[in-house]
Structure 1
Amino acid sequence: MKDIRQSPQFARFMHDIGWQVEKIDSAFIYLRKFPIFGYFAKIPRLQPPFPFSDINKLIKNKGIFQLKIAPFIKDTDRKFGIYKKQILKNKFKIDMSPFNPTVDIYIDLTQKEDIIFSKFSSAKRRAVRRAIKNGIVIKESDDLESFIQIRKKQYFPAGFLVVSEMKKLWRNFYPKSAVLLLAYPTIQNNNKCQMQAIASICHNKPLAGILLLFYEHVAYYWFASASKEGKKIFAPTLLVWEALKVAKRRGCKIFAFEGIYDGRFPKAAESWKGFTKFKEGFGGEKVIYLENFKI
């Protein structure tokens, strides 16, 4: 299985947001030039055998001042330790600020829906039911602008920074390899603590959303955002449940949550603790990758 970051679609996206794209063997390398310093480069989800000789040639020819790699090696690989020694032997050092997630959660979509749901925590199962009871409705949509507005508000005052990247990602993946799910309130939201949610019905505004990407039978939980009102009535939890079902219907075998907290990097991953707890509530298998490295 090849990671989505090594797909032609992702390479086009990286080009669109200003990265130079090169290729060594079958691996895409992304470079960005900085005045005075030269090029910074990264190779996401690199699979063995590692082309160290070609990498060193590229570093020399391009004047790369730093290159990072994120090996696509799981701790279940019997050569996990061997690969790590091999990388370190070639003068790479462990990167304490990983650019790709080093721990993830995979949900097996080959299971029946009721089995997948039964592996949710009791709190998550209750949250799904409460969201439905609250009248939350999940719809597939092409209304990227509404999702952008949710994310801009969530990341205010820096929210404007997400706009261009999201539009270019959408352009390269939608409709064949992306699905946008939006959570809308309905008139059933009629108790006092949900009045703000009701108000948005009049404007047909979603309260939360998930952007899923697809590549080689894997669904990636790429972007997710929710308003405060949406969180209060459990829209994010229902969205994940619906996303799992959508991914399964599209023939995906794995749902990847795209990163959780990694105790190997406590400082870099500190901000990940909150959403890690959220993701862990859906069951699945924890996957540990080899560390990211830099030279």
Structure 2
Amino acid sequence: MEAVEFIEMTPIQDIRQSEKWGLYLKSLGWEYSKTSSGILVVTKNIKVGSVAKVQRPQNLTQKDLNEIDQICREKKALFVKMEPFCFEDTNLLEQNGYIANTNPLSPPSTFYIDLTKSEEDLWKNISESGHYSINRSKREETKMRFYQNPLIEKLQPYFKMCQETGRRNRFFIQPYKDLLSKVKVFGKDSHLILAYDKNGNLLSGKFYLCHKDMVLYSTGGTSALGRKGKAGYQLLWDSILYFKGLGYKVFDLEGRSDDRFKEISKNWAGFTHFKEKFGAEVIEFPYPYNKYFSLIMKLIDKFFKMPV
């Protein structure tokens, strides 16, 4: 199973392979190890052993897979879920006992924006309706506020707005402690951008994490008042310019509808339509793969297709 054959630009390293991502997951009860080449292997203990995951590793080799096996066996993992990065040789995975799976943990498709492009070219890539929405928001005097390593006093109203958005659109919203953990671990590499109307009412917000040359759109929300306007469009456009100005190169918009995984992404049409207006490049990652170290789980998956 193959990913797309061409991608204009990819990050030096996906954020899910960063040390800080490992520390963030550790704060949520996971453990992490690294191979000799630095690949992050994350495990979590359960009653009968552990489970493991390796998300978005790049340039996997046979040596890497051998070391991942060793770590999993030492941790008594029942299985490991591998979510390959673009261009990974999935034939190598299959030769090493990995089985393609239809239950990704990370968004299986996303959009990348190339921040090395000029502001003029980035603007040209936006659709006509996107231009209209951004300009309308500006005419309505929407104000943006940028917070690096945001304080709790800004995170609390933002999270409440995200909860409201999740209930309205039937999305799962990770708990508040998850947001706090990300800010605590990523520190100055975490950014919160909030949009207010001219009367100071909160309209929309987006939370981002950064690593090396990439920016990850982590979470976002819109208030009931914000839904009446177009603040979200200006917010994303101003975010693009903000991170470009800070020197980042790849902006990952984190998720889009994917026909390969219709059940998982069935509620993603709305924000996919929104993101498409910004002319980003569509990225499809390879299918996730499982490798079972438990014979029982391997047999169950073979005959019943385990939902993991």
Cα-to-partner distance string for 1:130-186 (whole Å, 9 max, x where unaligned): 1111221111133222211211222349988520000010111122x1211000011
State which drifts further: 250-259 or 46-55: 46-55
Unpaired segments ≥5 residues, structure 2:
1-11, 292-308
The structure-2 alpha-carbon separation of the partners of 1:160 and 1:109, relative to structure 1 and needing over 3 Å to count, comes to: closer
Partner residue, 2:197: 185
State the shift of 1:240 in Å: 0.4
In 1, distance between residues paired with 2:183 and 2:268?
A: 25
Residue type at the aligned position of 1:112 = S
Residue type at the aligned position of 2:40 = F
- Do 1:96 and 1:268's aligned partners in 2 also have CA atoms closer than 8 Å? no
State the shift of 1:271 in Å: 2.0
Partner residue, 1:150: 161
Partner residue, 1:191: none
Work out whether 1:264 is the aligned partner of 2:260. yes
Structure 1 counterpart of 2:66, from 39, 53, 60: 53
Partner residue, 1:131: 137
Structure 2 counterpart of 1:69, from 78, 82, 91: 82
Q: Give the TM-score taking structure 1 as reference length.
A: 0.86
In 2, distance between residues paired with 1:184 and 1:132?
A: 11
Q: How do residues 165-176 of structure 1 correspond to structure 2 at under 5 angstroms?
A: 165-175=178-188
- Do 1:42 and 1:68's aligned partners in 2 also have CA atoms closer than 8 Å? yes
Any runs of at least 4 consecutive aligned residues in structure 1 with deviations exceeding 6 A, and if so which? 157-160
Partner residue, 2:206: 210
Partner residue, 1:4: 15
State which drifts further: 246-255 or 93-102: 93-102
In 2, distance between residues paired with 1:211 and 1:158?
A: 16
Partner residue, 2:300: none
State the shift of 1:274 in Å: 2.0
Cα-to-partner distance string for 1:9-29 (whole Å, 9 max, x where unaligned): 111111111111111221111
Work out whether 1:280 is the aligned partner of 2:279. no
The structure-2 alpha-carbon separation of the partners of 1:58 and 1:159, relative to structure 1 and needing over 3 Å to count, comes to: closer
- Do 2:143 and 2:197's aligned partners in 1 also have CA atoms closer than 8 Å? yes
- Do 1:98 and 1:292's aligned partners in 2 also have CA atoms closer than 8 Å? yes
Partner SS, residue 166 of structure 1: helix
- Do 2:182 and 2:190's aligned partners in 1 also have CA atoms closer than 8 Å? no
Work out whether 1:237 is the aligned partner of 2:233. yes
Q: Give the TM-score taking structure 2 as reference length.
A: 0.82
Unpaired segments ≥5 residues, structure 1:
75-79, 188-200
Partner residue, 1:223: 219
State which drifts further: 222-231 or 119-128: 222-231
- Do 2:33 and 2:71's aligned partners in 1 also have CA atoms closer than 8 Å? no
Partner SS, residue 165 of structure 1: helix
Partner SS, residue 106 of structure 2: coil
- Do 1:152 and 1:162's aligned partners in 2 also have CA atoms closer than 8 Å? no
Partner residue, 2:302: none
- Do 1:100 and 1:292's aligned partners in 2 also have CA atoms closer than 8 Å? no
Q: How do residues 111-126 of structure 1 correspond to structure 2 at under 5 angstroms?
A: 111-126=117-132
The count of aligned residue pairs is 270
